[in-house]
């Protein structure tokens, strides 16, 4: 117990995390169930406890910031409950009928299980509620012994258990499913003996325990009607957008639910398989030798299991925490079939294996903090350095994940109304920023992005910088699954030199939106916005002919005036066009000139071909301007991982416009050993001059200096060559006929 306490006190979280923890923390500061402070049904008992602990932490550690104080004030009760759990579980198993040795081993296996170990440090009610429910279960089970001795009266333990069961619903509502079935069994036992008075006393005790918190809660909420309205609102949210068996009874979801309930809490597949096989053996042993224990376990835990499988979003793995208790007890029982020594040795091995799995994850969880809060904390630190408060905007996926965090930081940030489903800017949030700057507001914008999105590429790369990338470590994510948002990025964007609106395909995401909205440039002009500047500039437009029976004629206008026109042929189907603006962008009534790119058939009267506009840039002469030309394939991405890339061939060329200074080439890519048996030789040349050579044998990032004179002498051609390449179709992997060299996640050229 002491070791558990010390380890978990060192791992107190430094930030809030799941939306529920934010609701609890806001309830500690200002209790208002109607405003989800905390969310209904209200948890007034837990809030009262958390107010005491938060105040105590504030007194003991006055230097802690609001986030750390709130998180620790909530989590300390999980730590305390977790430390007491071994003792409580021991008493529970004794009450069920286990020997002291088996009871102690069952308790040890449960508290060292990965899910229990990490949940005991979280600023939530799961651990506290479970341990409180186990105490009630133990009292009721002890009462059955007294009842057998005097079957006409309710044992004292039953009356206390009934009152406590009602009271702890105000601590965590799900405790009802762990305590009520045993209470009902006890009441039925009294009724079967015609002990109506004692049965009534138990019912009254349970009601009294509930009323202790329910009456003040309803009074504070503004009455029964107001409270029921808040409860109904929470209920509708719980059933909206949630995948649960009650609303989606599919075999696939049932299988997944069983895995997340029984196997995932143990994390390591070998450990989970061993524990579950032993638990099945233990169940068989109890059925053969102690059916009373099986009945008690079934009444104590099966109702919660059914409720969990039907009505919980099982990906929120912490909801499976109570199921660890019977699984651990049955597993030790299965081991005991081989003898007490085998049970001791097997439990010790399983406990050590669990700690080896979970302890590094617990420390990573404590040290890392929740991604959402790390992002806001970093923005908070940088805010005083800004000459003017930036505009804060976010992707809709992020908004649904951080909207409660924005309430927590409401004093610093006002994110304003966010586009909802069905609005023109839903999933097209970059258009709001385009409107912001094109409308004349020069303020910097901070954009919180879903890492699967790539629409920041629609803004001038010179104006944007990545403020941070915040992700929950994958191994931690597996144990705290179900968090509304566990990864996001923060981009700082100054008023850009150019922006793109609808109609472009500079990333696969942008191409998908363009096609989904039917705004391809053969149907309506692709939109661009160029900041007005009088200095000489150069523009790049690149893309490829995707479909059509004829060649394509591409026309570009600026503020309605013709700027350029060219033909795109079918072989090669890609193009790169450079457009000089010797007088810059003419003055006008707004800060940005309107660019329009239109595609029509080169043959009059024929349908316009489909052209994807994949490259764009514009900058003053002398800036680093470059284009992907020969040997590069179209951009691709994996939205699930939030990564994008281009494949090179065996020889791929970047065309670089004559710069005014030396440059630096940055190449990042995937390990070639995923496709080849050895590391390739990669050579970068400017014409015939070798600038760099490397042999990547893992994921790589390579920077290579590019002298200005070398680019001038090479006529702007920079080549990347690899001595290994392959054609997927020839390997039988798929029907892809392309010759592929290296998968590049990043290819950038900037001033040195």
Q: pLDDT tens digit string along 442-454?
A: 999 999 999 889 9
Residue 643 has a pLDDT of: 86
| SS3 state at 314 | coil
Query: Which tokens is 390 given?
Result: 């930036």
Whether residue 469 contacts residue 434, with contact meaning beta carbons closer than 8 Å, is answered with: no
With vertex at residue 686, the alpha carbon angle to CA 684 and CA 687, rounded to the nearest 5 degrees, is: 120
Residue 482 has a pLDDT of: 56
Helix 19-29 × helix 66-96 angle, to 10° = 110
Task: State pLDDT tens for residues 57-116.
Answer: 999 999 899 999 999 999 999 999 999 999 999 999 999 999 999 999 999 999 999 999
Greater pLDDT, 68 or 486: 68
| SS3 state at 150 | coil
pLDDT band, residue 240 (cuts 50/70/90): low
**Phi and psi dihedrals of 551, rounded to 5?**
-70, 160
Greater pLDDT, 479 or 498: 498
Whether residue 649 contacts residue 728, with contact meaning beta carbons closer than 8 Å, is answered with: no
Nearest-Å Rg of the Cα atoms of the chain is 32
**Phi and psi dihedrals of 575, rounded to 5?**
-150, 155
Question: What mean pLDDT do residues 676-682 have?
Answer: 96
Which of 195-207 are b and which e, b meaning 16 or more Cβ less than 10 Å from the residue's Cβ? beebbebbeebbe
Distances (CA, A) of 66 to 326, 368, 684, 750: 38, 17, 52, 41
Residue 412 has a pLDDT of: 75
Burial of 2 (0-12, 13-18, 19+ CB in 10 A): exposed
Could you check whether 498-621 and 625-752 share the same CATH topology?
yes
Burial of 532 (0-12, 13-18, 19+ CB in 10 A): middle
Residue 234 has a pLDDT of: 58
Comparing 389-403, 418-432, 601-615, 650-664, which segment has the lowest mean pLDDT?
418-432
Query: Which tokens is 363 given?
Result: 């420390």
Q: In what order do the strands lie in the sheet with 610-620?
A: 574-581, 537-547, 610-620
Residue 18 has a pLDDT of: 81
pLDDT band, residue 468 (cuts 50/70/90): very high
Whether residue 467 contacts residue 491, with contact meaning beta carbons closer than 8 Å, is answered with: yes
Residue 557 has a pLDDT of: 97
Residue 82 has a pLDDT of: 96
Q: What percent of the chain has pLDDT over 90?
A: 73
Instruction: Enumerate long-range contacts of 240-248, CB under 8 Å, 24 or more apart.
Output: 242/313, 243/313, 243/315, 244/310, 244/311, 244/312, 244/313, 244/314, 245/309, 245/310, 245/311, 246/310, 246/311
In three state form, how does the secondary structure of 434-490 look?
A: HHHHHCCCCCCEEEEECCCCCHHHHECHHHEEEEEEEECCHHHHCCCCCCCCCEEEE
Q: In what order do the strands lie in the sheet with 464-471?
A: 391-394, 445-449, 487-493, 464-471
pLDDT of 235 higher than 60: no
Parallel/antiparallel/unpaired status of strands 552-558 and 498-500 = unpaired
Residues in contact with 663: Cβ distance below 8 Å, sequence separation at least 6, in sequence order: 624, 656, 705, 706, 707, 708, 711, 749, 750, 751, 752
**H helix or E strand, kind and range, residue 133:** helix 126-149
Greater pLDDT, 412 or 543: 543
Instruction: Give me the residue spans of the domains in the chain.
Output: 2-224+249-368, 375-493, 498-621, 625-752
Query: Measured between alpha carbons, how far apart are the two ends of the chain, in Å?
Result: 58
Distances (CA, A) of 592 to 145, 440, 505, 673: 83, 9, 21, 47
CA-CA-CA-CA dihedral for 583, 588, 592, 597, to nearest 10:
-70
Helices within 174-268 (DSSP H only): 176-192, 196-221, 224-238, 251-258
CATH domain 498-621 topology: Jelly Rolls (2.60.120)
Query: Which tokens is 369 given?
Result: 């903090």
Please list the helix, strand and coil fractions of the chain in percent, rounded to the nearest 5, in that order.
Answer: 50, 20, 30
Distances (CA, A) of 157 to 85, 149, 160, 273: 19, 14, 5, 38
- Report the sign of the C-alpha dihedral through residues 61, 67, 72, 77, in that order: positive
Using CA atoms, how far apart are residues 666 and 702, in angstroms rounded to an integer? 6
CATH domain 625-752 topology: Jelly Rolls (2.60.120)
pLDDT of 714 higher than 80: yes
Query: Which tokens is 122 given?
Result: 């979280």
Whether residue 609 contacts residue 552, with contact meaning beta carbons closer than 8 Å, is answered with: yes
Query: Which tokens is 43 given?
Result: 């948890």
Distances (CA, A) of 318 to 26, 265, 314, 675, 746: 22, 8, 8, 39, 38
Q: Residue 669's closest CA among 726, 603, 743? A: 743
Task: State pLDDT tens for residues 639-649.
Answer: 877 789 999 99
Helix 176-192 × helix 156-168 angle, to 10° = 150
Q: In what order do the strands lie in the sheet with 552-558?
A: 498-500, 526-531, 592-601, 552-558, 561-568
pLDDT of 416 higher than 80: no
Query: Which tokens is 740 given?
Result: 């592929």
Using CA atoms, how far apart are residues 20 and 587, in angstroms rounded to an integer? 52
Query: Which tokens is 70 given?
Result: 């709130």
Task: State pLDDT tens for residues 159-186.
Answer: 999 999 999 999 999 999 999 999 999 9
Distances (CA, A) of 435 to 425, 490, 500: 11, 20, 11
Using CA atoms, how far apart are residues 169 and 172, in angstroms rounded to an integer? 5
464 pairs with which residues across the strands?
493
Task: State pLDDT tens for residues 692-705.
Answer: 999 999 999 999 99
Residue 127 has a pLDDT of: 96
Task: State pLDDT tens for residues 9-56.
Answer: 999 998 998 888 999 999 999 998 888 888 888 899 999 999 999 999
Using CA atoms, how far apart are residues 505 and 734, in angstroms rounded to an integer? 25
Q: Residue 51's closest CA among 64, 67, 70? A: 70
């Amino acid at each position: 117990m002491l070791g558990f306490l010390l380890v978990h006190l060192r791992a107190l979280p430094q930030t809030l995390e799941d939306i529920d923890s934010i609701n609890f923390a806001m309830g500690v500061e200002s209790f208002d169930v109607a405003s989800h402070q905390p969310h209904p049904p209200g948890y007034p008992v837990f809030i009262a406890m958390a107010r005491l602990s938060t105040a105590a932490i504030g007194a003991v550690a006055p230097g802690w910031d609001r986030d750390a104080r709130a998180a620790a004030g909530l989590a300390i009760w999980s730590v305390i409950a977790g430390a007491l759990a071994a003792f409580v579980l021991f008493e529970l198993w004794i009450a069920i009928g286990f020997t002291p040795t088996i009871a102690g081993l069952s308790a040890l296996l449960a508290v060292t299980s990965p899910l229990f170990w990490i949940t005991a440090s979280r600023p939530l009610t799961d651990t506290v509620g479970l341990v409180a429910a186990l105490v009630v279960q133990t009292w009721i089970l002890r009462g059955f012994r007294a009842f057998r001795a005097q079957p006409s009266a309710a044992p004292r333990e039953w009356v206390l258990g009934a009152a406590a069961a009602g009271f702890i619903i105000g601590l965590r509502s799900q405790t009802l499913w762990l305590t009520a079935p045993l209470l009902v069994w006890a009441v039925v036992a009294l009724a079967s003996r015609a002990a109506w008075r004692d049965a009534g006393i138990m019912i009254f005790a349970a009601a009294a325990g509930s009323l202790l918190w329910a009456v003040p809660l309803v009074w504070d909420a503004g009455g029964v009607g107001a409270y029921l309205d808040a409860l109904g609102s929470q209920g509708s949210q719980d059933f909206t957008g949630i995948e649960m068996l009650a609303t989606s009874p599919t075999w696939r979801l049932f299988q997944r639910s069983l895995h997340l309930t029984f196997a995932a809490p143990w994390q390591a597949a070998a450990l989970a398989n061993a524990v579950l096989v032993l638990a099945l053996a233990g169940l068989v042993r109890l059925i053969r030798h102690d059916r009373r224990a099986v009945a008690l376990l079934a009444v104590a835990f099966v109702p919660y299991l059914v409720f969990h499988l039907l009505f919980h979003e099982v990906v929120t793995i912490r909801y499976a925490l109570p199921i660890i208790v019977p699984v651990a007890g049955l597993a030790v029982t299965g081991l005991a079939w081989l003898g007490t020594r085998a049970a001791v040795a097997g439990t010790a091995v399983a406990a050590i294996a669990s700690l080896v799995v979970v302890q590094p994850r617990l420390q990573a969880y404590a040290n890392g903090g929740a991604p959402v809060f790390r992002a806001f904390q970093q923005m908070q630190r940088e805010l005083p350095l800004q000459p003017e408060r930036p505009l804060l905007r976010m992707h809709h996926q992020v908004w649904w994940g951080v909207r409660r965090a924005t309430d927590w930081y409401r004093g610093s940030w006002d994110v304003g109304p966010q586009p909802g489903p069905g609005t023109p800017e839903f999933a097209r949030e970059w258009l709001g920023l385009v409107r912001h700057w094109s409308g004349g507001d020069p303020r910097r914008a901070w954009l919180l992005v879903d890492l699967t999105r790539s629409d920041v590429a629609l803004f001038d790369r010179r104006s944007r910088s990545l403020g941070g990338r915040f992700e929950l470590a994958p191994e931690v994510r597996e144990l705290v699954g179900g968090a509304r948002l566990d990864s996001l990025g923060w981009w700082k964007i100054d008023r850009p030199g150019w922006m793109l609106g609808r109609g472009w395909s500079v990333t696969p995401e942008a191409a998908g939106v363009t096609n989904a909205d039917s705004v391809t440039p053969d149907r309506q002009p692709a939109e661009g916005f160029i900041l007005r500047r009088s200095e000489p500039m150069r523009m790049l437009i690149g893309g490829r002919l995707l479909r059509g029976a004829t060649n394509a004629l591409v026309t570009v206008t600026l503020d309605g005036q013709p700027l350029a026109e060219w033909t795109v042929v079918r072989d090669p189907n890609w193009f790169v066009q450079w457009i000089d603006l010797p007088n810059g962008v003419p003055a006008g009534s707004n800060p940005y000139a309107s660019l329009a790119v239109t595609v029509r058939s080169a043959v009059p009267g024929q349908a316009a071909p489909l052209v994807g506009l994949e490259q764009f840039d514009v900058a003053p002469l002398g800036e680093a301007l470059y284009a992907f030309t020969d040997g590069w394939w179209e951009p691709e991405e994996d939205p699930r991982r939030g990564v994008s890339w281009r494949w090179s061939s065996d020889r791929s060329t970047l065309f670089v416009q004559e710069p005014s200074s030396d440059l630096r080439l940055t190449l990042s890519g995937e390990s070639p050993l995923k496709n080849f048996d050895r590391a390739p030789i990669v050579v970068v040349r400017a014409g015939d001059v070798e600038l760099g050579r490397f042999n990547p044998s893992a994921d790589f990032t390579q920077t290579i200096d590019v002298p200005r004179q070398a680019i001038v002498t090479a006529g702007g051609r920079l080549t990347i060559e690899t001595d290994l390449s392959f054609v997927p179709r020839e390997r039988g992997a798929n029907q892809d006929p392309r010759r592929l060299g290296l998968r590049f996640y990043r290819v950038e050229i900037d001033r040195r």
